[in-house]
């Protein structure tokens, strides 16, 4: 059974993937500010997912 923190971590990772897609679309659209914003959201979201997923890990 999947635990709540793991589900949260997965949802953060999915959110990060969506943010990266939006960021890349914005870059392709030459909307640089919007692209940087979405890439920052994706990076922080991915960081949260990894930190949440690694809570209590031995390594």
Binding pattern to other proteins, positions 38-57, x when CB under 8 A? Answer: -xxxxxxxxxxxxxxxxxxx
Query: What is the C-alpha separation between 40 and 27, in angstroms, rounded?
Result: 13
Binding pattern to other proteins, positions 8-37, x when CB under 8 A? Answer: -xx-xx--xx--xx-xxx-xx-x----x-x
Min dist CB 4 to other proteins, Å, is: 13
Query: What is the C-alpha separation between 14 and 4, in angstroms, rounded?
Result: 15
Contact 15, 23 (CB under 8 A): no
Contact 12, 51 (CB under 8 A): no
Min dist CB 25 to other proteins, Å, is: 6
59 is a contact residue toward other proteins (CB under 8 A): yes
């Amino acid at each position: 059974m999947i635990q709540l923190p793991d589900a949260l971590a997965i949802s953060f990772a999915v959110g990060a993937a969506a943010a990266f897609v939006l960021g890349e679309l914005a870059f392709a659209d030459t909307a640089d500010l919007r692209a940087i914003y979405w890439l920052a959201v994706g990076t922080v979201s991915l960081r949260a997912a990894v930190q949440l997923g690694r809570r209590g890990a031995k390594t």
